[in-house]
Amino acid sequence: MKHLAKWLDDALFYEIYPQSYLDTNSDGIGDLNGVIEKLDYINGLGFNAIWLNPCFDSPFCDAGYDVRDYKKIAPRYGTMEDMQRLIDEMHSRGMHLFLDLVAGHTSEEHEWFKASKSSADNEFSDRYIWAGEDDVFKNAGIGGMAKNTEGRKGKYHYNFFTVQPSLNFGFAEVTAPWQTPAGSPAAKRTTEAIKDIIRFWCLKGVDGFRVDMAYSLVKAEKEGRAGTIAVWQDIFAMMDEEFPECAMVSEWGNARESSLAGFPMDFYMQMNSLGFGDMFDYGDPEDVDGTPFFSEKGEGNAAVFAKDITRLLSENAGRGYLSFITGNHDIHRRPRCLPDAQFKITYGFIYTMPGVPFMYYGDEIGMREVLDLDPVEGSMYRTGARTPMQWSSAENAGFSQADEDELYIPLDSDKNRPTVEQQLADSDSILNFVKSILAFRKANPALKASAGTEFLFAQEDTYPLVYRRFCAEQSLIVAVNPADRAVSADISRELRLKPVFVFGGGAQVNASKIEMQPQSFAIFEEIR
């Protein structure tokens, strides 16, 4: 069995988009001191780990995912001393910190790329993917080819925006003289450069990384991504030897591949996950006609999801965890019309699923998508999901003392917007439900990341969803009914259960049948 950092079994992550979290110097942009100031709030909710979106030096053409210097904190967020204080303050609370590692590309302003585009040969000439001016790469996958306008003649491959030149990890299949094979000396030097970045931050006390586009390193790969897997296996060999309790979560969307690569966690999200779209509505917030499982309409289908998860858990047993998300910076927030009950039922489900879950900042209060905002730093359609955190009824919702027109992204202007202040005072709030379900998860060993999972009732176009979480010490049965009607499930075996966590009208057990009230969630402990 591969090494899995022990702390992951109990990890509960909170994702922070730093520029939108809390501004402590009144420039309209959130900063590291703002994160430090809110550590007791985050820890008090029950979270013991944070994923911080990019905070490295950058020209911010893509909100920091265009890194100019991996070893420098962007001045708008603070200093290296501020980062060290964040690390130390988190560790003093028993918390872990993930930074966001962009491994497949840099900014065009990175010193590596400035040297690489020079007409004179140097040690960085092959750090990126270069072709001649007339060469065509038809199988470019993500990104494309852009012409260099100074120095070196030719075109370079970019990963997303043209300002993000792709690092050279080689090609799975070489079809042109300008392509270098995966595993070539040039590709290996790039891998060593990524190892150097990882060492730099792990030695400062960082506990690991979320890896952006982790699947995309080696180009022209066919099914299986063997070349990219080999690169990560090389990196993890170093990490397991030098930093065995550091970990990573991959933006891969294929847990079988990512766990082979060495990742202990892979996000279960919209990329390649067969059941994700059947369960959650993260599409266009103005399109309310979808039929995900988590809707009071009760027209969804959990069968594909259950089959998908069962397969993934079987394939990855002992090799890695799935990571469910409440949302993230790349997808729409939940629809504005969603009632509070649906947030609670969804979170009850996510925090009783196996693996290591992640909550996006603001989801704990049900922050809503802000519509019709202009793009900011490459945010495209995602701007409305990156708005400032809503702390209180104070000016700018307590996010910043800057003038309103100086805020990084405009606030939700709805006078009824949810705030932390208001929800802390309301025992029936989404926030207090989050606190209660996190506390319940921590207190019950059957809900650890590694505990077993068995679906007992997950039928096509039928409600509810019922599953079992279990370990040697405990067995829990979870029943989920987002529909606005009463439903029942016949488990086909006699059940001896006691309710231990109930939301909504809850559920009753009669012999082998679980009967649920509309929009309800319930956890039962099996009586042995």
**Domain boundaries, given as residue ranges, for the chain:** 6-104+186-442, 452-526
Cα separation, 349 vs 523, in Å, equals 10
Sign of the dihedral defined by the CA atoms of residues 112, 113, 118, 120, in that order = positive
Backbone phi, psi, residue 92, to 5°? -65, -20
Q: Which pLDDT tens digit goes with each residue over 270-285?
A: 766 678 888 987 766 6
Residue keyed to tokens 């070196």: 152
Vertex 86, ends 420 and 403: CA angle to 5°?
50
Q: Which of 73, 19, 106 is nearest to 383 (CA)?
A: 19
Q: Which of 281, 277, 243 is nearest to 262 (CA)?
A: 243
DSSP letter (8 states) at residue 98: E
Residue keyed to tokens 């905002």: 373
Q: Which pLDDT tens digit goes with each residue over 488-502?
A: 999 988 889 999 999
Q: What is the per-residue pLDDT for 278?
A: 85
Q: What is the per-residue pLDDT for 3?
A: 75
Q: What is the per-residue pLDDT for 336?
A: 64
Query: Which CATH code fits 6-104+186-442?
Result: 3.20.20.80
* Cβ-contact 281, 290 below 8 angstroms: yes
* Cβ-contact 255, 322 below 8 angstroms: yes
Cα separation, 86 vs 42, in Å, equals 13
Q: Which residues of the chain have pLDDT under 70?
A: 1-2, 139-141, 271-273, 283-290, 335-337
Cα separation, 384 vs 374, in Å, equals 9
Contacts of 400 by beta carbon, 8 Å cutoff, 6+ apart:
22, 23, 26, 27, 28, 29, 30, 388, 406, 407
Same topology for domains 6-104+186-442 and 452-526, yes or no?
no
Q: Which of 386, 387, 352 is nearest to 469 (CA)?
A: 352
CATH topology for the 452-526 domain = Immunoglobulin-like (2.60.40)
Q: Which two tokens stand for residue 469?
A: 């979480």
Q: Which two tokens stand for residue 173?
A: 């299949």
Predicted model pTM = 0.96
Residue keyed to tokens 């049948």: 513
